[in-house]
Amino acid sequence: MRVWVDFGMVKQNMGIEQVLGSYGVELKRVGHHQLRGPCPLPTHGSERSRESFSVDTAKNVWACHSASCCKLRQGRVGGNVLDLVAWLEGCSIRNAALRLQEQGWGGRARDHYQLASKGSGRSNPDPLPPLSFSLRLHWHPYLQERGVHPSTAACFGIGYYTGSGFLHHRVVFPVHDSQGQLVAYVGRSIDGSQPRYRFPPGFHKSQVVFNLHRAVREAAGCVLVVEGFFDCLHVHQAGYHNVVALMGLTLSEAQEQLLRERFPKLVLMLDGDEAGRRASQQLAARLKGKVLLSIAEVPSGRQPDQLSSEEIGRILGRASDAPGA
């Protein structure tokens, strides 16, 4: 049966700025309703036209003024949100509309994010809508420098992004919800530029736990909790696949709920600095009586991603029960 598409409704409700954000494209605001930046279209090949792409958010239209880019698009300077997705995906206008209609990008997705951030007086572990696209990522020597094996990068879907937008020239980590649905991409700078990690607009890292969907499949009855992405990769490489990362130092109520619902025991393996040790003690006090808890003490001044697989194994073997846990 042929699916009916309301083209007018899609164009009216799907905001170009939000759709571009879903593709990892971030533009500079140059006016109240104007955005500008590098062109994200696959037809763009000019190195000289660096700021040729513009968006009018009030009219919900876009344009690229690069002559070479226009030529490859049969002379068309720009268009609406349907034209944009059609060029980005290399599909027909109808398929672009179907993609937007089915996924509810734009206004509905924006409302979803706002509701998730405001909360409703109760925990909502998985409020983030799944992404309906995937980025093309590549291996980069930076990953080898950080001790990440190619097989690990492939398992986690990690790689270097060469496209435009806020993830441009960063190593990118796909983030999934507890059901394994892709909800965000996070970019890590490789040249010391700030911020070190870039999270997409509207994404609330406190609502998800990195690698939870894979750790659950291990059915180990116990989960190892680390701070960062690279910590998680190294512990996984050491053979402990029931590892998750908080993407920071704090454990939110939503993250606590996600972990306690799935694992009867938690092992904290936070960084060996003062902040990590203090956080471990605070969490031990907070989780007392709620879950079985052990603390794996990382050597002072070090963190899990700086340890060898043998060191990780020894530390986990010496993990002690948290006081009163």
What is the rounded average pLDDT of the residues 203-214?
Answer: 93
Contact 200, 21 (CB under 8 A): yes
- pTM of structure: 0.65
What is the rounded average pLDDT of the residues 244-265?
Answer: 94
3-state secondary structure string, 96-153?
A: HHHHHHHHCCCHHHHHHHHHHHHCCCCCCCCCCCCCCCCCCCECCHHHHHCCCCHHHH
**60-74, 100-114, 191-205, 229-243: least confidently modelled range:** 100-114
In tens, the pLDDT along 127-136 reads 578 887 788 8
Cα 162 from Cα 276, distance rounded (Å): 34
**pLDDT given for residue 225 in this prediction:** 97
CA dihedral 126, 131, 135, 140 (to 10 degrees): 0
Backbone angles phi, psi at 231, to 5 degrees: -60, -45
Mean pLDDT of the chain: 84
Residue 122 pLDDT > 50: no
Q: Which residue has the higher pLDDT, 234 or 108?
A: 234
**14-28, 183-197, 229-243, 297-311: least confidently modelled range:** 14-28
In tens, the pLDDT along 30-77 reads 887 899 988 888 888 777 767 889 999 888 899 998 888 888 888 889
* Top CATH class, 146-325: alpha beta
- Count of beta carbons in the 10 Å neighbourhood of residue 20: 24
Domain limits of the chain?
7-118, 146-325
In tens, the pLDDT along 153-203 reads 999 999 999 876 778 899 999 999 999 999 999 999 999 888 899 888 778
**pLDDT given for residue 3 in this prediction:** 54
Helix, strand and coil in the chain, % to nearest 5: 35, 15, 50
| CA geometry: angle 65, 45, 14, nearest 5 deg | 60
Residue 116 pLDDT > 50: no
Position of tokens 């911020």? Answer: 195
pLDDT band (50, 70, 90) for residue 112: very low
pLDDT band (50, 70, 90) for residue 126: very low
Position of tokens 């190892």? Answer: 224
Q: Which residues have C-beta within 8 Å of that of residue 148, sequence separation ≥ 6?
A: 158, 230, 233, 234, 237
Q: Is domain 7-118 given the CATH code 3.90.580.10 in the classification?
A: yes
Q: Which residue has the higher pLDDT, 26 or 47?
A: 26
Q: Which residues have C-beta within 8 Å of that of residue 43, sequence separation ≥ 6?
A: 69, 72, 73, 87
pLDDT band (50, 70, 90) for residue 95: confident
**pLDDT given for residue 102 in this prediction:** 58
Cα 294 from Cα 317, distance rounded (Å): 11
